[in-house]
Amino acid sequence: MRRFMKRMGRVWKQAERVTISSEDRMILFSDVHRGDGTYADQFMPNQQVYFAALRYYLQNGYTYIELGDGDELWENRNFAVIREAHGDIFWLLREFYLRNRLIMLYGNHDMVKKSARYWDRTCSHYHCEVDLCKKELFPDLQVKEGIVLSYKDGGRDILLIHGHQGDVINDACWRIGRFLVRYLWKPFNSVGLIEPTSAAKNHHKKGKIEKRMIQWADKNNTMVITGHTHRSTFPCPKESLYFNTGSCVHPRCITGIEIACGEITLVKWCYGVTGQNVVKIGREVLEGPFLLDEYM
């Protein structure tokens, strides 16, 4: 526990401060796990749901904040393969980038993005197969470990991180975890073998991580929003200060947290059927909205 508190203190101290107001709109997603488009790509079943959600938030003036594990770079060595498999998604993400409304954090599965050299080499540009030339993707975008949203209209500061901090195999020893997943566990996923390094598939590990996050948030009087465990958490005011967006690889749905007009809301996007048997993709409020001021 002491190591975790020290680790979190370092993240808090080094995190960039971003001032927001009640006029700002943000959508927070985590654990998208965009893959290579094959059977092993956990994101594929929700690709269209995620695309519809991103288009909605782009059209309605939201800033997109990705809390880590956006790309599955443990199972896949090559980012270019991921970008090609989900070209429509990256087109939308670039639209956020061009409007200066894109913030990306790294998690344990895409920790290589923290290297400026890696980012410049693989993610800042891409080779266009249509025009047979190099084109910009996200040049000069800095992927961070954490940021702090400072709400100027009152309320607590909000620390945004992926949530793997302090989880030894997924933090300090992430290269070992990547090796195990890439070369040992990936081939067995298709037959249902559970990956032991994953907090999302290990209920004991989930509970341990969440308990630590709650203790840190309450001790430091700071709202904390994470992903990592894939389990959405949204406390009512006065209950706790720890939130979790959930993930984008739930069966048939994705979950995220909206911060807009001074309020915070847990939402779900999923397929639905109208009375005329027309399949549609829609947004559903799961918890909230609550005023950020209520968490004072």
For 44, the 3-state DSSP assignment is helix
pLDDT band at 199 (very low <50, low <70, confident <90, very high): low
pLDDT (tens digit per residue) in 86-109 = 999 999 999 999 999 999 999 999
Q: Is 278 left (phi over 0), alpha (psi -120 to 50) or beta?
A: beta
pLDDT (tens digit per residue) in 157-182 = 999 999 988 776 776 666 777 777 77
**Domain 2-295 bears CATH identifier 3.30.70.1150:** no
The model carries a pTM of: 0.90
pLDDT (tens digit per residue) in 128-156 = 776 667 889 999 899 999 999 998 876 67
Q: Of 182, 184, 183, which Cα lies nearest the Cα of 193? A: 184
- Sketch the domain layout of the chain as residue ranges: 2-295
pLDDT band at 197 (very low <50, low <70, confident <90, very high): very low
Contacts of 69 (CB under 8 A, 6+ apart): 30, 31, 32, 33, 107, 108, 109, 110, 162, 227, 228
Strands annotated E in 58-213: 63-67, 102-105, 125-128, 133-136, 146-151, 158-161
